[in-house]
Structure 1
Amino acid sequence: MDTVSVEQATELILERIKAIDETEEIEVEDALGRILAEDMRSEFDNPPFDRSPIDGYACRSVDIAGASEERPVRLKVVEEVYAGAYTDREVRKGEAVRIMTGAPVPAGCDCCVRQEDTDYGEEVVRIFRPEKEWGNYCFRGEDFKAGSVLMKKGSRIGFVEMGVLAGMGRGTVPVYRLPRVVILTTGDEVVTPGDPLLPGKIYDSNRMLLTGRLTELGVRPSLVRWVEDRPEAMADTLREAAQKADLILTTGAVSVGKKDIMHEALKMAGAERVFWKVKVKPGMPTLFSVYQGVPVLSLSGNPFGVAAIVELLVRPAIQKMKRDDSVRLVRVKGIMADTFPKPSKGRRLIRAYWENGMFHLPKGLHSNGVLASMIGCNCLIDMRPGDPELKEGAPAEAILL
């Protein structure tokens, strides 16, 4: 199949992308952004005891019912209890326990008095205000009860969830493993950043661009490699990569030039071609194949084309593989703060910055091979086929990065 719409391309890719079913047990401290593979059920009440939310004195509310500045109530301080400590003593009439925030409330007490409402007495304390029954008192299980399902299977673990898991006493947590994504860049003209730049060469920006964006989407590439512009070399690399990949991404060599080797390499490897060319600019020559059950998405070599297709096609694939709705495409509407003077014959994506409902265009070129003008941009304006130039003040819609 050749020349499909963005929507058709997305559907064809997602039909061949599998959600990861394999799970692993990892440390909670490493679980940020991961997806739970099981319900998380609490095994105990939290807190596991009644506790004080203040620094002060635990006592019986009936004993201090008439307390005032003029007529303070005197209570005998029989013990001190700090957070992390515990006492078996039962407080009786006329007694109080010096207590700190987070400490267990002793038996017999039904309130805690703020130390600011006392004279801070150590052996005998004078209390200047009454406190109602269960005032300044946190009950056992106030946070969660034993047997409660606090997080459902398929939930994304954020910083709050990490805190709750720790409060449940979990040192490890079952999660779905991350997708194994392989990045293969092509081009005899590209040089690894840090190496000398020889005449006729350019640095390989696509490798870092893809690695960085996948990492932002929660996937660290399992293999990143440059492959020379020989179809045999790429076919061999595809055979190797397919043994340990859920998705293979390639950049470059997808058009019709003499060095555009991906078509021949995929044929040599025995891959099934699903489509070639997507009705969008940049990224039109995108090629999608399946090799030994592994999806292979081949992007153009132009950096902005790579950046655009990652958002349109790779991101939905990552969302499905990870089971992570946080990476879904988000669209926003706004008003053009600047004018984009070119009408759109076909679908076109334009780099921009969206703020307070306004789309601002960056300074510099909008060419497919230009990446620097994308610095600071946070969206791609989505121009539809037949749209006229986008004038200042015109409405527009964009995909947030």
Structure 2
Amino acid sequence: MYNIELEEAIGLILNSIEAIEDVEVIDLQDALGRILAEDFYAPVDNPPFDRSPLDGFALRSVDTANASEDKPVKFKVIDRVYAGSPSSKSLGSFEAIRIMTGGKIPAGADCVIRLEDCEVVGDGVIIKNKLEAFQNYCFQGEDIKRGNLLLEKGTKLNAIHLGVLGSMGQARVKAFRKPRVGILVTGDEIIDYTEPLLDGKIYDTNGILLASRLRELGFEVIKIDGQGDCPKAVAQAIKENMDALDLLITTGGVSVGDKDILHEVIDLIGGKRLFWRVRLKPGTPAMYTIFKDKPILSLSGNPFAALATFELLCRPLLAKLSKDTTIKTKRVKAIMLDDFNKKSKNRRFIRCIYKDGRVGLPKGGHSSGMLLSMKDCNALIDIEAGNMGLKKNDIVDVVIL
């Protein structure tokens, strides 16, 4: 398909792929940000025993029934309990056991008095107030009951989730495999940023930009060595690497110039082109292909155009591949803080700074080849085709990056 709307392009992408179902068993310490591949049920209670929530003395509430300021009751302290070191003793009448926060409630005790609410005298403790049964008392399973569903399949694991899993003694978890994303930058003019800059050459911006963005989103990146503008070399590189990838992103070579080689490359590899050109700026010449039942998303070589179309087209693709719904493109309404007087014949996305329901424009150029003015931006304004310009206080659609 040719020259289609953004939403149609996204629909074609999503209808052409399936989520990755491969499952890995990984160490808990490596599970942050991963997608849980099975429901997780509590294998044990938490806490695993009745315990004290504070420092004090464990005792029998019945023995405090008549305690008061006028008639204090003295208890004999027979043992001491630390967290992790339970007592083997059972309380009798008017006996107490010194207990620390997290300590296991000893047999016979049904309450804990705060250390600051009693008076320690020699080998005893004086109580001056009545305690109720189970006062200052944490029950076994109070937080988590064995057999309860704690985390659902498809959950993106965060620090709290890992804490819950750790509290259950879960050393390893089942997670869906992360997509492996390849990046291939075309262009004879491109050299690696580690090399000296030569006359007529430019440094590879898109490779490091997109690889870093992918890593920010939690994906594994495989950099494919640049093959310049040689269609056969680029085609061969794709053939050699595609089996190891779940998605290939290319930049450059998708327009109509003499060195825009991706059309020939797709023919050489026998790929199925689903669309070319999307009705938006920047990034109009974006192309999408299926090869070996895997997606190839080809973006403009201009850095801002590549970034914008990555956010608009690739994030929905990655969300489906990975089952990670948190990386789907998010949209909000916002109030303009500035004027943008440029007329937009085509649908346009411009960089902006979003905060608290308002958007401002950065200093610097908005050209698709300019990246510096993007450094403080965190969103894109979606301007409809035919717009005559935006004014301060206009309500606009914003894509959050």
Shared fold by TM > 0.5? yes
Aligned partner of 2:280 in structure 1 is 280
Aligned structure 1 segments of 4 or more residues deviating by more than 6 angstroms: none
The corresponding residue for 2:43 is 43
Residue by residue, what CA displacement relative to the aligned partner does 1:374-397 show, whole Å, maximum 9, x if unpaired? Answer: 011111000011222001111111
Q: Classify 1:132/1:269 alpha carbon distance in 2 versus 1 (closer, same or farther; 3 Å).
A: same
What is aligned with 1:177?
A: 177
Q: What does residue 72 of structure 2 align with?
A: 72
Corresponding residue SS for 2:226: strand
1:191 is matched with 191
Shift of 1:328: 1.2
TM-score of the superposition, structure 2-length normalised? 0.98
8 Å contact kept, 2:189–2:228: no
Are 1:32 and 1:157, in contact at CA under 8 Å, matched by a contact in 2?
Answer: yes
Report how far residue 70 of structure 1 moved: 4.2
Output the CA distance in 2 between the equivalents of 1:120 and 1:211.
64
Do 1:254 and 1:286's aligned partners in 2 also have CA atoms closer than 8 Å? yes
Alignment of 1:116-127 (within 5 A): 116-121=116-121, 123-127=123-127
CA change 1:16–1:122 in 2 (3 A) is farther
Say whether 1:94 aligns with 2:94.
yes
CA contact (8 A) 2:288 2:295 kept: yes
Alignment partners' CA distance in 2, 1:344 and 1:126: 82
Match of 2:156 in 1: 156
Does the 8 Å contact 1:183/1:248 carry over to 2? yes
How far apart, CA to CA, are the structure 1 residues paired with 2:335 and 2:395? 5
Matched with 1:57 is: 57
Question: Aligned with 1:25: secondary structure?
Answer: strand
Query: Which residue does 1:31 correspond to in 2?
Result: 31
Alignment deviations for residues 233-277 of structure 1 (CA, whole Å, 9 cap, x no partner): 100011012111111100001111111111111111111111110
CA contact (8 A) 1:241 1:248 kept: no
1:261 aligns with 2:261: yes
CA 1:198/1:122 → structure 2, altered by over 3 Å: closer, same or farther?
A: farther
TM-align CA RMSD: 1.2
Matched, 1:329 2:329: yes
Q: Name the CA distance, whole Å, in 2 between partners of 1:174 and 1:78.
A: 47
Question: Quick one: structure 1 residues 64 and 364, their matched pair in 2 at CA, closer, same or farther if it must change by over 3 Å?
Answer: same
Describe the superposition over 1:160-193 as per-residue Cα deviations: whole angstroms up to 9, x where unpaired.
1000000111000000000111110111111211
| Cα shift at 1:317 | 0.6
Q: How many residues align?
A: 401
TM-score, normalised to structure 1, is 0.98
Tell me, yes or no, if the aligned pair for 2:335 and 2:357 is still in contact at 8 Å: yes
Contact 1:39–1:152 (CA<8 Å) still a contact in 2?
yes
- Once the two structures are superposed, the pairs formed by residues 184-333 of structure 1 within 5 Å of their partners are 184-333=184-333
2:190–2:228 contact (8 Å) kept in structure 1: no
Measure, in 2, the Cα distance between the counterparts of 1:68 and 1:320.
66
Taking the TM superposition and a 5 Å limit, the aligned residue runs for 1:108-123 are 108-121=108-121, 123=123
| Equivalent residue, structure 2, for 1:141 | 141
State the alpha-carbon separation in 1 of the partners of residues 58 and 397 from structure 2: 60
Q: Which runs of 5+ in 1 are unaligned?
A: none
Secondary structure of 2:220's aligned partner? coil
